[in-house]
Amino acid sequence: MSDLLMNVVDWSRAQFALTACYHWLFVPLTLGLGIIIGVMETIYYRTRDVKWLATTKFWMTLFGVNFAIGVATGIILEFEFGTNWSNYSWFVGDIFGAPLAIEGIVAFFMESTFIAVMFFGWKKVSPGFHLASTWLTALGASISALWILVANAWMQYPTGVTFNPDTMRNEMTSFVDVAFSPMAMNKVFHTVTSAWTLGGTFVVGVCAWMMLKGRNRDHCLRSIKVGAWVGLVGIVLTSISGDSSAVTVAKHQPMKLAAMEGLYKGEKGQAIVAFGILNPAKEVGDNQDPYLFDISIPHGLALLATHDFNAFVPGIEDVIKGKSFDKNGNPVGTISYLQRMGHGKAAQTALGQYHRAVERGDTTPLQQYRQVINDNFQYLGYAYLDDPKEAVPNVPLTFYSFHFMVTIGGYLVLFFIVVLLLLYKPKWIPAKQKFAKAGYWLAIITIPLTYMCSMSGWIVAEVGRQPWTIQDLMPNKVAISDLSAGYVQVTFWIFAVVFTALLIADVSIILKQISKKSLTNLNEVENEQ
């Protein structure tokens, strides 16, 4: 029975991951291009240069394609909460549903309204109103991302709620705590600004391909200038928010941080691994070295996690044992996973006693049971673990994803700086044509590298908190719907085929657009206004 349950859990996780990965191919590009198009149209509005209008419309077409397919995959993703994760939806629907409802009612309708004006209102509204519509569309997309990320952040750090044993549901007590928790704010800024980076990389890479083919050089130079600046601002802000995210993760999800570094036993002034190869034979509790090879920076992880060079950073085994210290080396109030399992079982037992008393009509012990539930509820999810090791995420996947993300992020800072230097100092461009071609190809290859970097960030965020659907409160095997594995497998492959077809259609339209030998005739563009 347990094997059958885990089979359903694994396939449901795979289906959700498939949908999320395809969805995320379109969303960050939409967010990034929205800002870039807004900047381009602002330049046109100020200069009335028809060339900037043609450039704006070119990128607007690509924006529209990605927007439409992103909406389609996003709707399916939200439905999966009800089809595959109904226990989760019941348990936290009052909290999780609120930001998603705001996203649908406010942000989605805002996007839908103003995107129509943006695409079809060129001759129907004033230039100023059209410009406002373009920016409001971009803002609406960002607001949409904000509320979805708030919902996701609550799963990582549940706050602002209380549990009602009568309904077996969590109820919101503070919308402010849910919406503006440190986890939520860091996640929103980190994700949205990383999307600006992807948008900038996409524009630079597409233009590099067009210039490699000898097409639309003036258009490309205009586009690259905007794309590179937006990309550089995006990656710098992403790096800054990444620093604050690390501090938040260290405080609220120490197991995730330990997995990100492949750290099993922490120490004061903990070093950070700049490059390393994990030992695949390493297990929790053995004495094997966790790395086959590593290059570490002394005190780096202590500084990243706490902004203190000498702080203690717990490893995986330390977290399991409840071992941690403050910056002065004094023990802090953490408890072991075995103790958490005990607290969780106490809450679980009290819940059963509470409902049996209600069924008997015996109200005398209810307050006592409720108090036990409240005292132990924060560890309820641990009651469903059979062994503390179940709460250890996939260390290799988390470790390599994190280090790939950081490496590519550092490369992107350098990439955008070089692109801007070459734009503003063209004499620095190598004279030999083969070097120029190599630069174009590097810019093209940077597009998939940035996508992989973005995906790696989500792998760290989601895989690093496993096995939890809600941190400490609900593991995946409790959140699942009552489904057969066969049903989930069939829908998995159906979605795989449909999403792949959508991706092929998206790429085909983009390639057709960028393969045009010239942009729309400028006189025609001008006459449309």
- For 362-409, what is each residue's pLDDT tens digit? 888 889 999 999 999 999 999 999 999 999 999 999 999 999 999 999
pTM attached to this predicted model:
0.91
Please give the residue that has the higher pLDDT: either 373 or 524: 373
Based on the fold, state whether residues 41 and 178 are members of the same structural domain: yes
Over residues 448-473, the mean pLDDT reads 94
The residues near 140 (Cβ < 8 Å, ≥ 6 apart) are 107, 108, 110, 111, 114
Nearest CA to 342 out of 316, 374, 378, 379 is that of 379
Residues 365 and 398 in one domain: no
Mean pLDDT score, 314-332 = 80
Predicted confidence at residue 429, as pLDDT, reads 58
Of 210, 214, 190, nearest in space to 202 by CA: 210
- Given a contact cutoff of 8 angstroms between Cβ atoms, the answer to whether 408 and 453 are in contact is yes
Query: Domain for residue 470, yes or no?
Result: yes
pLDDT value of residue 232:
97
- Total domains in the fold of the chain: 3
Question: Does residue 330 belong to any structural domain of this protein?
Answer: no
Residue 4 binned pLDDT confidence (cut-offs 50, 70, 90): low
Tell me what pLDDT residue 523 has. Answer: 44
Same domain, residue pair 460 and 505: yes
Task: Write the CB contacts of 343 (distance below 8 Å, at least 6 apart in sequence).
Answer: 335, 376, 378, 379, 382
Same domain assignment for residues 491 and 368: no
Choose among 91, 160, 78, 151: nearest CA to 476: 91
CA distance 183 to 417: 30
pLDDT tens track for 466-489: 999 999 999 999 999 888 888 888
- Structural domain range at position 365: 337-388
DSSP 107: I
CA pair distance 301, 250, nearest whole angstrom = 10
Final residue in a domain of this structure, among 267, 287, 321:
321
Q: Which of 287, 321, 355 is the last residue of a domain?
A: 321
- Residue 402 CA to residue 386 CA, distance in Å, equals 28
Structure-model confidence comparison of residues 205 and 307, the more confident one: 205
Tell me the average pLDDT across 326-347: 83
* 431 shares its domain with 481: yes
Q: Which comes out higher in pLDDT, residue 457 or 6? A: 457
- State whether 405 and 505 are in the same domain: yes
Domain co-membership, 310 together with 163? no
The residue-averaged pLDDT of 96-122 equals 83
Most confident of the following: 193-207, 285-299, 488-502: 193-207
Stretch (H or E) spanning 171: strand 169-172
Neighbours of 110 (CB within 10 A): 17
Is 528 part of a structural domain of the chain? no
pLDDT category at 1 given cuts 50, 70, 90 is: very low
Q: Is the pLDDT of residue 426 over 90?
A: no
**For range 482-503, the mean pLDDT:** 89
In sequence order, what E strands does 370-470 have? Answer: 468-470
What does the pLDDT average to over 311-330? 82
**What pLDDT score does 40 carry?**
96
State which of 296, 321, 346 marks the end of a domain. Answer: 321
Rounded to whole angstroms, the Cα distance separating 410 from 401 reads 14
Query: In the chain, what percentage of residues exceed pLDDT 90?
Result: 58
